[in-house]
Structure 1
Amino acid sequence: MSHVTKTMTKTDGKTWIEALTSAIAAVNQPNFASSLVELIRLLVDFDCAVILGYSAKRRPVYLFDELPIQRELLFQYYLNRAYLDDPFYRMLQDDERTMQGVFDLASLAKDLGLNPDYLNDFYQATGWQEELGLVISIEQNRWVVINLGFIANKSQPVSFKKKAMLNQLTEVFELIAALCRQHWGTKPFVLAEPPLTNQAMQAHVNAALSDFGAAVLTKREHQVVRLILQGFDSKAIAEQLVIGEGTVKNHRKRIYSQLHVASLSELHGLFLNHLLTYSP
């Protein structure tokens, strides 16, 4: 009998079917990621979880975390610079490699190599002994990676049961991937998804983005400026809006003219002031 089938029959706590039902109901809702992690936890006894959105040649975007310790390392170090040396990130930048499946960090590091600075300056500080990752292709050049962390100094090493955990996750991978595609399939990875307690902040930022420059910009210019403010360069904007890169550059010139700014830093400063003073 498979592990999943056994989990379906649990009588203590939530069963697999109950957790799956909750995750399905949470698709496109703020509690989806937490429901998904709860579902996975019925299969694998991990200590920490981080979910990130990846796009080709772009920095990862925060989607969710359950980090009981050292949470600041994710935001202050990993998302600012350390991600460049992460074997999961590096794998996704290599067109020759498999872009989807269940992987463990130790095997990826052995295959791709591991920067000693990443190991010594960042990874050891997290306290993670091992890491399993579900790499899910949402669409071409866009992935969700669910990282499951195991804290060091436990009595039984993770390696003792890693093969079984990889098999369990592989068994349900397509189901988890389908749920992720339903939830994140139409959402570009541009703004971090806030914790449940910060939903009002996200709503305020989105409303301010929608209002910024609306009185003087055309609909297309407004689409372009939203993407500029979220870190897209001209090439990425052209791909996102399915227009020519030269057209994007023309829009940028007119946006700067209409908003009376001369540089990207001035544009960001103008938006920051708008964000702080915006009231719907």
Structure 2
Amino acid sequence: MIAEQFSGAVAGLIEKAGVADYGAALDRLASCAAGFDMSCAFAFSTGHAPVVIHDGYSETVDRRALRSYLRGAYLLDPFYQASVSAGAEGLWRMRELAPDQFYDSDFAWSREVHPCISDEAGTLVEEIGFVIPLPDGFGATYSLMRNRGGQPFDAAEFQRLRAMLPILAASLRQHWALISGGAGGMAGMPARPVAERVFHEVFGDQLTPAQYAVAKLILRGHSSLSIAENLGITEGTVKIHRSNIYRRLGISSQGELFQRFINHLAD
């Protein structure tokens, strides 16, 4: 019975490549390995806005929050960072990708940008996701989520899902080729990195390049020590940058920095 269910799900995934209900076929296959409450799939790139491949949480997610996420809050998502990084292909638990202070960050607890983004805040007990490189500089994330009140994905479920990676990767690449039109389908899209554009829209020319680099990592949930390690500077220098960022923006806390970012996305 299980083999029949699995083979039927694989057949359905092949049939639905390039069509609107492809996401339902993705979920049908994944559910052969483990149950979940919500799901989503995005194609991310450093040079383009995200593409929604599958929206499996419309009934429970505030549409305004999803809009803010797509306008720029996704830049703070650990799965976005993994999708645009080399060598990140695989199945990951959110906590394996998140910066050291992610779960203490305003982003992780904000229902204004994406109520499902954190597995220790909002509505979730856990989020896991497949990270799959795509052509043309894109990477896909297919996330599975369990709501609070349930249990995290156990080791056996995680292993069964991970065994599906080759099928899911091949299918998502086929689907992407059909819906994107290849490199030609990206013609005319802005060449300037989206992260650079979004952060400059929020903060303008008020920050120096070094301060921009620090501000981005603060918003993503990095501690001063983690920022120092990422940028190759001392922790003391990070603290000086942080102080100067707040002074230049006329704010006094990390919470205010985040709120300015979110207010721009929600306008």
Q: TM-score, normalised by structure 1?
A: 0.57
Q: Number of matched residues? A: 184
- In structure 1, list runs of 5 or more residues that go unmatched: 1-5, 10-14, 191-222, 237-280
Q: Secondary structure at the match of 1:139?
A: coil
Q: Distance in 1 between matches of 2:122 and 2:64?
A: 7
Determine the structure 1 residue equivalent to 2:30: 40
* Superposition deviation, residue 35 in structure 1: 1.1
* Superposition deviation, residue 117 in structure 1: 1.1
* Superposition deviation, residue 234 in structure 1: 4.7
* Superposition deviation, residue 165 in structure 1: 2.2
Q: Distance in 2 between matches of 1:164 and 1:110?
A: 26
The code of the aligned residue for 1:22 comes to G
Highest Rg: 1 or 2?
A: 1
Superposition pairs for residues 27-176 of structure 1, below 5 Å?
A: 27-67=17-57, 68-72=59-63, 74-95=65-86, 98-109=87-98, 113-114=102-103, 116-122=105-111, 123=117, 126-139=122-135, 141-154=137-150, 157-158=151-152, 161-176=153-168
How much is the aligned-residue C-alpha RMSD, in angstroms?
Answer: 3.0
The code of the aligned residue for 1:117 comes to D
Structure 1 residues 164 and 140: alpha-carbon distance in aligned structure 2, compared to 1, 3 A threshold = farther
Aligned identity (percent) is 21
- In structure 2, list runs of 5 or more residues that go unmatched: 112-116, 194-267
- The structure showing larger relative contact order (alpha-carbon pairs under 8 Å, at least 6 residues apart) is 2
The code of the aligned residue for 1:181 comes to R
Q: TM-score, normalised by structure 2?
A: 0.60
Q: Secondary structure at the match of 1:131?
A: strand
Maintained 8 Å contact 2:94/2:127: yes
Structure 1 residues 106 and 117: alpha-carbon distance in aligned structure 2, compared to 1, 3 A threshold = same
Q: Distance in 2 between matches of 1:117 and 1:135?
A: 24
Structure 1 residues 112 and 182: alpha-carbon distance in aligned structure 2, compared to 1, 3 A threshold = farther
Q: Distance in 2 between matches of 1:51 and 1:20?
A: 18
The one of 162, 176, 190 aligned to 1:233: 190
